[in-house]
Structure 1
Amino acid sequence: MNFVVRAARRDDVDQLYEMAKLTGGGFTNLPPDRGALDEKLARSEEAFAKTEGESANDLFLLALENTETGHVRGTAQIFAAVGKRWPFYSYRINTFTQHSKELERTFTSQILSLTTDYEGASEVGGLFLHPNERAGGLGMLLARSRYLFIAKHRARFGDKVIAELRGVIDEAGGSAFWDALAGKFFGMSFQEADEFNARNGHQFIADLMPKHPIYLNMLPESARSVIGKPHPSGRAAMRMLEKENFKYTGYIDIFDGGPTMEADIDSVRSVANSHESTIASITETGDTHSLAATGTLESFRCCYAQIEARQDGEVGIDENAAAILEAQVGTAVRHVPR
């Protein structure tokens, strides 16, 4: 498999733009807007180049490249710390219980409370794979490469990591959650707000969103039924997150009601189970199917590899992976079983 995950470059913008047009809406981390993508790539380039200083606004944009053709076929993103430059809002689902002595009845309701509980957390997001490449484990490679990047640059990230999954959007590109709640305060459709959000961020939503708790019983069934549910195309991503020890704990996106998954970074499977080794030999094959990553920051590269463990802590790596990783004997490699 001749694919590598690497730092995205400014000259990837045209290919990213073509992929962005395939997302189907509601995917604000990969907007079909060349100017917005240029800004993201510039911000990512700055983060990759930085070796010290505040990490709060750092965005690391990764690209999945077919090394035979040079085509970019996927992308993923890592945010070092959310909520530092501007508030990071979520809705938390709470249970509220009241009792009437006269009626001898207890009433339990669920409410949505606006919170900034995730301030300072790192975030993984923006995972998109070209429709023609959704086979062969490329989605897993792209997703898990983010955790090896975090493990190789642990000091740049927080103690907690979150992932916001896109919420349910209908065939016309509308959102029942938006229509029932936020849409009533903004005078624009979900698609219009989605486009504005992609270009300008969702602070405008937080500024105008009602700050008082919202009783779920006051929302129509069409909205209640999608709260905390991922878009059908995101179900596989949710399962991958769960395998990495992420959990859904009742937080949802204020924009489309999609679930927010969370985990302690050091408990994420691909972080906790990864090891840093030195390549002792380049072989035809190995005994463990793995993900392997070399380099730091802008030189980071990750691919599937065959790893052969040695008793001295060094490893052998198959020659195809070594070529993709631009590695040789003596190169440091972080690896985790597939």
Structure 2
Amino acid sequence: MLIVRPVRISDLPVIETMAVDSGIGVTSLPSNREKLYEKIQTSLAAFEHEAVAGTGREYYMFVLEDDGQVVGTASISASAGFEEPFYSYRSETMVHASRALQVNNRIHVLTMCHDLTGMVQLCGFFCKRSLSLRAYELLSRARLLYMAAARERFGRRILVEMQGMLDDNAQSPFWDAIGRRFFNMDFPQVEQAFAQRSKTFIAELMPTYPIYVPLLPDQAQNAIGQIHPDFERPFSILSREGFEADDYIDIFDGGAVLTAELDQLFSLRQQRQLAVEVSPVLPDGAEEMLISNHRSDQFALSQARASIVDDVLFIMPDTARALSLTNGQRACVVPLLAENKGRAAA
């Protein structure tokens, strides 16, 4: 059975392996044992936090289990750039006009900004490529179901960065055209530097004036707002949730930054909190759905067959055991995303 739960210290060795396997695309999953241990400790403290509202400093890390084996991980940062600005490029249009020459040109420019600072951020996503789309959906959407269970801890707007396009040598055409001019570092090096430290060094060395896109090489222009093929599955799931590419791109590889109103996402709009009834036989109308135990400190989520009758959620005993639910307790339930309903058995 696939289950998503909060990370534990004992998960550190497998998380280390995932950080290596994720390559350079997931900077929030650094290939550094001390950094990973620090993230796990921060996550444990966040889940144990009992305040009515979060402070914004919290970082929540989850893992996906397949019959007890950890096969994926994903995280939430309650406030992007809480301790320092969250940098991105804002894509906008600048008008150059001359009445005397009868010229009016609209020029595409990129301006470094920290407009997205303070938004909730989905990050640290890694799932083994051999797993089904069902597993990807479960891990990705578990974070949203957790936020539904602890809504007071999170803000109104949410973002997620998508990895941009790389060439066959794992180099970024976008980075080579801009960042490399100011840093004597290739793309893998700067990604590693960011994973180990922070983005503050970027503000110290990168240009603060607008970048005129027409002056960039064609490869760099074509990479703006694009998504690496390895991120197509997560992008598909997030898009169906309601995330959209906004006017922002990643400052390293030019990848798309997706944003949304948290409460307008599919999982938040469709989630229902119901009393549980454990039964060995489900009433008519049972179907696959995502079910969580609606606890912030001992969160668990899985996909299982269940029935809803008169605002009561009927679940099987094995589902109840997996989610530590008993009769009368409340659970949070949401339907599968439309495109995935026919793939529940995948």
TM-score normalised according to structure 1 size: 0.94
Listed one character per residue, the Cα deviations across residues 63-106 of structure 1 (whole Å, up to 9, x for unaligned) are 0012x3x2110011111112332111111100112223333232
Residue 265 (structure 2) pairs with residue 268 (structure 1): yes
Instruction: Give the 3-state SS of the residue equivalent to 1:111 in structure 2.
Output: strand
Instruction: Give the 3-state SS of the residue equivalent to 2:307 in structure 1.
Output: strand
Q: Which amino acid in structure 1 is aligned with residue 271 of structure 2?
A: S
Residue 197 (structure 2) pairs with residue 200 (structure 1): yes
Measured after TM superposition, the shift of residue 335 of structure 1 is 0.5
1:54 to 1:130, Cα distance in 2 relative to 1, 3 A:
same
Measured after TM superposition, the shift of residue 129 of structure 1 is 0.4
Query: Counterparts of 1:128 and 1:266 in 2: how far apart (Å)?
Result: 25
Listed one character per residue, the Cα deviations across residues 156-207 of structure 1 (whole Å, up to 9, x for unaligned) are 0000011111111222121111111112112111111111111112222233
Partner in structure 2 of residue 109 of structure 1: 107
Deviates more, 1:145-154 or 1:119-128: 119-128
Measured after TM superposition, the shift of residue 333 of structure 1 is 0.5
Partner in structure 1 of residue 64 of structure 2: 64
Query: Counterparts of 2:293 and 2:78 in 1: how far apart (Å)?
Result: 20
Residue 225 (structure 2) pairs with residue 231 (structure 1): no
Q: Which amino acid in structure 1 is aligned with residue 125 of structure 2?
A: L
1:315 to 1:54, Cα distance in 2 relative to 1, 3 A:
closer
Partner in structure 2 of residue 181 of structure 1: 178
Moved over 3 A (4+): 283-286
Q: Is the 8 A contact 1:80 1:156 kept in 2?
A: yes
Listed one character per residue, the Cα deviations across residues 186-244 of structure 1 (whole Å, up to 9, x for unaligned) are 21111111111111122222332211111101211111111101111112222211111
1:22 to 1:84, Cα distance in 2 relative to 1, 3 A:
closer
Matches within 5 A, 1:6-25: 6-25=5-24
Query: Counterparts of 2:263 and 2:20 in 1: how far apart (Å)?
Result: 35
Q: Is the 8 A contact 1:282 1:329 kept in 2?
A: no
Measured after TM superposition, the shift of residue 112 of structure 1 is 0.5
Q: Which amino acid in structure 2 is aligned with residue 16 of structure 1?
A: I
Unaligned 5+ segments in structure 1 are none
Residue of structure 2 aligned with 1:75, choices 70, 73, 76: 73
Measured after TM superposition, the shift of residue 295 of structure 1 is 4.5
Query: Counterparts of 2:173 and 2:279 in 1: how far apart (Å)?
Result: 54
1:295 to 1:266, Cα distance in 2 relative to 1, 3 A:
closer
Q: Is the 8 A contact 2:87 2:199 kept in 1?
A: no
Measured after TM superposition, the shift of residue 319 of structure 1 is 2.8
Identity of aligned residues (%): 32
Residue of structure 2 aligned with 1:278, choices 275, 279, 297: 275
Query: Counterparts of 2:27 and 2:255 in 1: how far apart (Å)?
Result: 13
Residue 335 (structure 2) pairs with residue 337 (structure 1): yes
Q: Is the 8 A contact 2:278 2:320 kept in 1?
A: no
Number of equivalences: 333
Deviates more, 1:316-325 or 1:41-50: 316-325
Matches within 5 A, 1:250-329: 250-285=247-282, 287-311=286-310, 313-329=311-327
Partner in structure 1 of residue 116 of structure 2: 118
Query: Counterparts of 2:133 and 2:108 in 1: how far apart (Å)?
Result: 41
Instruction: Give the 3-state SS of the residue equivalent to 2:182 in structure 1.
Output: helix
Residue 148 (structure 2) pairs with residue 151 (structure 1): yes
Query: Counterparts of 1:207 and 1:318 in 2: how far apart (Å)?
Result: 57
Partner in structure 1 of residue 97 of structure 2: 99
Q: Is the 8 A contact 1:8 1:63 kept in 2?
A: yes
Deviates more, 1:288-297 or 1:142-151: 288-297
TM-score normalised according to structure 2 size: 0.92
Partner in structure 2 of residue 43 of structure 1: 42
Q: Is the 8 A contact 2:26 2:125 kept in 1?
A: no
Q: Is the 8 A contact 2:54 2:154 kept in 1?
A: no
Query: Counterparts of 1:206 and 1:11 in 2: how far apart (Å)?
Result: 37
Q: Which amino acid in structure 2 is aligned with residue 77 of structure 1?
A: S
Q: Is the 8 A contact 1:64 1:74 kept in 2?
A: yes
Measured after TM superposition, the shift of residue 54 of structure 1 is 4.9
Partner in structure 1 of residue 339 of structure 2: none
Query: Counterparts of 1:173 and 1:116 in 2: how far apart (Å)?
Result: 27
Listed one character per residue, the Cα deviations across residues 232-281 of structure 1 (whole Å, up to 9, x for unaligned) are 11122222111111111220011211111111011011011101111023
Q: Which amino acid in structure 2 is aligned with residue 288 of structure 1?
A: E
Measured after TM superposition, the shift of residue 287 of structure 1 is 1.4
